[in-house]
Amino acid sequence: MIKVLVCGAAGRMGREVIKAISQEEDMSLVSAVDVREIGKDAGELAGIGKTGILIEEDLLSAIKNTSPDVMVDFTQPSVVKGNMKIAMENGVVPVVGTTGLKYEDIEEIKDLAKKTGVGAFIAPNFSLGANLMMHIAKQVARFLQAVEIIELHHEKKLDAPSGTAIRTAQLLSEVIGDSQTPDSQPSRGDTRWGIRIHSVRLPGLVAHQEIIFGGQGETLTIRHDAPSRECYMPGVKTAIRKAVGLKEVIVGLDKILGL
């Protein structure tokens, strides 16, 4: 039985993860951490009824009291690296969906994995469709090198551009290089690896992305829509299973999907 701690347990993704874990026979929730809703039953918050696991605030004491194998983190960009350090220094492998980790942060985490012998699994996007979108875009980029990304998310999202858009730009730059955008006109979005990214934040949206390629007299658009959060759960559960005893740092669900 894989013992799972969920960090960010009262959040939108944390609650969905708690629900998903409860449906599996080989994993169980042992503790739930958040900085709000403290003392409330994590199962009740997730809509699955009482579990007896109450939300607590102190990650380190939750780890010491319940010895989880894996910590699933869906919190926020400003705290995720600190949470990962606490987990890894105490023998717990983080499975991280929280976005906003920078390249330097991931390098730091890789060093920590070498020091502690405890790995981590980081995925800017756990949905199968979004990972297929990135995979297909890499194939298109071999033929059409002019490309821009539009990502559209709900208005409460804290980071921009999204982790998925940044990861898409990184993967595309591996195919087309990073010399895409010489001009810097206003209202033309931000760039990552030289690729333009436009971020839309509106109520009514959940998570959506378009990758638009331009060629001579034609465009090709690849679009992914996640109208609810359940699409991330198969990927999260696969990552939890992969994380048990993991000693290295894996970035991207594509690495374990065989893409």
CB of 97 to ligand NAD, least distance (A): 3
The Cα–Cα gap between 196 and 94 comes to 31
Instruction: Provide the binding-site residues for ligand NAD, judged by CB under 6 A.
Output: 7-8, 10-14, 33-36, 74-77, 79, 97-100, 123-126, 157, 232
The Cα–Cα gap between 151 and 236 comes to 22
Active-site option among 153, 208, 224, 237: 153
Nearer to ligand NAD, 14 or 68 (CB): 14
Please confirm, yes or no, whether 153 is among the known catalytic residues. Answer: yes
Please confirm, yes or no, whether 115 is among the known catalytic residues. Answer: no
Nearer to ligand NAD, 31 or 99 (CB): 99
CB of 49 to ligand NAD, least distance (A): 20
Nearer to ligand NAD, 126 or 213 (CB): 126
Q: Which residue has the tokens 């090709």?
A: 220
CA distances from 238 to 75, 126, 135, 186, 232 (A): 20, 9, 19, 42, 10
Q: Which residue is nearest to ligand NAD (CB)?
A: 11
The Cα–Cα gap between 252 and 188 comes to 28
- At a CB cut-off of 8 Å and minimum separation 6, what does 242 contact? 121, 250, 256
CB of 88 to ligand NAD, least distance (A): 16
Residues designated catalytic: 153, 157
